[in-house]
Amino acid sequence: MSASNPNGSATDFTGIAEALGKAAAQFQANWVDWMSSFAKPGDEGIEPKSGLAPLPADLADVRFDPSKIMMRQLELWRDYQSLWLSTTARMIGQDAQPVIEPEKGDLRFKDAEWTSNPVFDFIKQSYLLNARWLRQAVAEADGLDADTARKLEFFGRAIVDAVSPTNFALTNPQVLREMAETKGENLVRGMQNLSDDLREGRDGLRPQHTDMTAFEVGKNIATTPGSVVHQTPLMQLIQYAPSTEKVYKKPLLIVPPWINKFYILDLKPENSFVRWATEQGYTVFMVSWVNPDESHASKSFDDYVQEGIFAALDGIEQATGEKQVTAIGYCIGGTLLTATLARMAATDDDRITAATFFAAQADFENAGDLRVFTDKTQVDLLENQVRAKGYLDGAQMAGTFNSLRANDLIWYFVINNYLLGKEPPVFDLLYWNADSTRFPAQLLMDYLRRMYQQNALAQKGQFKLLGTPLDLSAIKVPVYIQASVEDHIAPAESVFKLNHLFGGTKRFVLAGAGHIAGVVNPPAKQKYQHWLNTRRKSYPTFDAWLEDAVEHPGSWWPDWDKWLARRSGPKIAARTVGAGTAGIIEPAPGSYVQVRS
């Protein structure tokens, strides 16, 4: 195989063998030490911190129709016949069309030898045929409800991803070339990287995603100027400095998710939504949630509203004198904002006059891939863990999210760090992704049981906030709803349902890309696209809306700016941070965001 040595010289098998011996010796001590950590007494349940979640026991009872399996087997056999003929033709120098090709966007097989080398091409196509067979078999399983079918599909995909030939040294041409070029030193470096990761993650393997020493919050990331002007035990409120001489009268409050840190909206100047919003003339306030510990175990939705959003509104009034604001809720922060708006509607509280939702859900019937982890058995097991600690560990939560995109967030780094022996890339987004947060026990159980299992927020009167039964149709403030076409956490179909839940005027926009890139897409980058539908009619489904939507190039941010500007009051002289009665507590980004899990 040409992957053996790109220079055509004989491969130094002795050198490779010596390198493998060094790699094994280097790895052994840390491996034994790591394995011994599983024998510690007192552990309860399973914590898949590697992101490789355990297979739920209920999937063992899934039944398949033997006749359908037989048909799929015959199809697979025919496909293999075609593949053998195609490969034989290529081996004798003839052209042949592939039997199957990777799906668009699958970057695992981008190395040229996966196509140019008949042996690796055969390995690749064999894997793709088997993967397709398994997906089809899973899709045809008998008598499954929607949640079990989704779970079976997810774990089937996880198995398929794990056994990809790209994940093994002897079937990956790039790794074989590296072994030949370095005489196996890549594996020595890789075993050192693996040992380091095992040592760092004592109770679970998490491949390092980026150089965590390359960034420092407040120094070269999250650097938009501002100050903390208010705080509670649950959050700090940041007021950002103006970028214009005139600003809109109504301040803008951003409620980010607490399952990760707010600076996804303020990574660096060129992609910071916060900085861009100040440049459009908005006085931006950001909630920076505390990274909770056992002292926050009993905190609930009520507390996150009282000590979070309501406290932020009080802080904004103290800082600016303004009683009314506009607000943004991102992801689970949008779920919290939805509940808050319904409570405010029920109590005639008009402090939030317009709301924007980034990738937010209130109806969880068709929520994303996270539903595979929310059945009763898994939630009961999780409850035993988090009640004992007082919180869900940040590493466990990060591992769960990584498993939703295993090829990108697990297996890519297994190959890069361990097989190729390279250092992980320096990337601000990956730093943010690794800077995980904890989740208070009571709040987590409320969220999983009341939202994912019972879908209570979407049902009139079924969810109480601060003692008030909520009715989302009572929300009459104008809303702007953003969803992303490739979002696997908050699917566009699920986010779209906000249009049917709220009682006021709505504007819905569909962004290109996924849960993060679909939101954080500055106009200057000229990336992706967005879809708008300006027809004044109600659509029963997302698909019906999309049929009439018009695609536009680039970011949706300017459209949102036009929408919000009309609802933000007149322009006034720019405000000085700290000029109000609140004063300044400390410079942005504050101290809460600095606390690591």
| Active-site annotation, residues | 331
Find, among 350, 303, 298, the residue nearest to 324 by Cα.
Answer: 350
Nearest residue to 593 (alpha-carbon basis) of 282, 215, 277: 215
Neighbours of 341 (CB within 10 A): 25
- Encode 40-85 in three state secondary structure: CCCCCCCCCCCCCCCCCHHHHHCCCCHHHHHHHHHHHHHHHHHHHH
Sorted by sequence, the CB contacts under 8 Å of residue 168 that are 6+ apart come out as: none
Rounded distance between C-alpha atoms, residue 304 and residue 309, angstroms: 7
HEC states along 429-458? Answer: HHHHHHCCCCEEHHHHHHHHHHHHHCCHHH
Q: How far apart are the first and last CA of the chain?
A: 46
Instruction: Round to whole Å and give the CA distance between 27 and 29.
Output: 6
Contact 138, 68 (CB under 8 A): no
Pairing of strands 391-392, 439-440: antiparallel
CB 320 within 8 A of CB 283: yes
Question: What is the rounded CA–CA span in Å between residue 188 and residue 24?
Answer: 8
Asked if 152 contacts 55 with a C-beta cutoff of 8 angstroms, the reply is: no
Residues 320/572, Cβ–Cβ less than 8 Å = no
Please count the other Cβ atoms lying within 10 Å of the Cβ belonging to residue 583.
Answer: 12
